[in-house]
Amino acid sequence: MTGLPDGVAAPQVFGRSGGHEATTRAGQAQLTVYRDDAPVSADNDVANPAYRASLDARFDSAIDSRELGAPTSVAGHSAWTVVDARPHTGQTVYNCVTYVIVDRHLYRFAVTATAARSRPPEFDALVRALSQVSFEPVREAVAP
């Protein structure tokens, strides 16, 4: 990803069941990018509400992207994005979740932040950075 705001921590990349996840922070906001290792079947589409509901359940998401959100685009690929804010113990939790399928692999971009007063500017900066995403083929590390 390019266009990340100044002060963003170096991403931490982890293997996760069935895929890989990279996480970084900017102030009070966090960006998590998940990529499925297995190809998505050709009949799945992020525009399909039932498919999005299955993704929400799989990722244990508090956001209901089956009913909420709108079609968007990430690097020229069809996507679905939900932006949500909800109260939680005297604060507000801000979420932006985007699902996109690229080269038959699912990506999930999630930006989150929690604040007592107003939406943190770092949240907006990370969400804006998603508009500058580009995709490259995965390069596997070569074992020595």
Q: What is the pLDDT of residue 7?
A: 78
Q: What is the pLDDT of residue 15?
A: 85
Residue type, 2: T
Q: What is the pLDDT of residue 101?
A: 96
- Residue 144 located in a structural domain: no
Domain count, the chain: 1
- Residue 40 located in a structural domain: yes
- Residue 21 located in a structural domain: yes
- All residue ranges of the chain with pLDDT < 50 are none
- Residue 2 located in a structural domain: no
Q: Helix, strand, coil proportions of the chain in percent (round to 5)? A: 15, 40, 40
- Residue 141 located in a structural domain: no
DSSP string, 63-106: S-TTTS-EEEEETTEEEEEEEEEEEETTEEEEEEEEEEEETTEE
**Residues in CB range of 128: below 8 A, 6 or more apart:** 3
Q: What CATH number is associated with residue 25?
A: 3.40.1000.10
Give the structural domain span for 99.
Answer: 14-132
**Residues in CB range of 59: below 8 A, 6 or more apart:** 34, 108
pTM summary value = 0.89
- Residue 97 located in a structural domain: yes
- Residue 75 located in a structural domain: yes
Q: What is the pLDDT of residue 138?
A: 67
Q: What is the pLDDT of residue 136?
A: 79
- Residue 9 located in a structural domain: no
Q: What is the pLDDT of residue 8?
A: 84
